[in-house]
């Protein structure tokens, strides 16, 4: 898939929504964005090491799962859906991988032209 540049990671950071809930680490997105100039170089390096090695840091694999009520009887478990709150850094890794995989699929042309869902316009 190749490596990501500092500008790509900066673009990912800039596009994260401040309103997103933080994960188990309680590090909010806005704080990560405020520290972008300080963490950009090491973060880019860590993302690239992960992409090269094919390994994802263990601590970023954990999420905080919260049941969210849908409708019906609140005492029934089936009336809830799980929401996984990921650490901000997991979101950055995911966005970097998504960018690389999407670019690869577009270059290779392995997605059908009739595939519209979950694709950028």
Q: What is the DSSP letter of 54?
A: T
The domain segmentation of the chain, as residue ranges, is 6-58+87-108
Instruction: Quote the tokens at residue 105.
Output: 């699929």
Closest by CA position to 59, among listed 96, 98, 93: 93
Judged by average pLDDT, the poorest of 36-45, 48-57, 87-96, 103-112 is 103-112
Q: How far apart are CA 50 and CA 9, in angstroms?
A: 14
Contacts of 73 (CB under 8 A, 6+ apart): 79
**Which pLDDT tens digit goes with each residue over 8-44?**
999 999 999 998 888 999 999 999 999 999 999 999 9
pLDDT score of 116 more than 80: no
Closest by CA position to 3, among listed 53, 38, 39: 53
| Whether pTM exceeds 0.85 | no
């Amino acid at each position: 898939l190749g490596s990501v540049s500092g500008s790509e990671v900066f673009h990912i950071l800039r596009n994260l929504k401040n309103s997103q809930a933080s994960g188990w680490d309680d590090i909010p997105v806005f704080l990560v964005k405020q520290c972008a100039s300080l963490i950009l170089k090491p973060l880019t390096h860590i993302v690239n090491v992960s992409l090269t090695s094919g390994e994802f840091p263990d601590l970023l694999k954990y999420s905080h799962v919260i049941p969210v009520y849908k409708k019906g009887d609140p005492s029934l478990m089936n009336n809830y859906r799980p929401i996984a709150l990921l650490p901000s850094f997991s979101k950055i890794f995911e966005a970097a991988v998504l960018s690389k995989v999407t670019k690869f699929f577009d270059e290779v042309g392995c997605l059908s032209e009739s595939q519209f869902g979950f694709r950028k316009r």
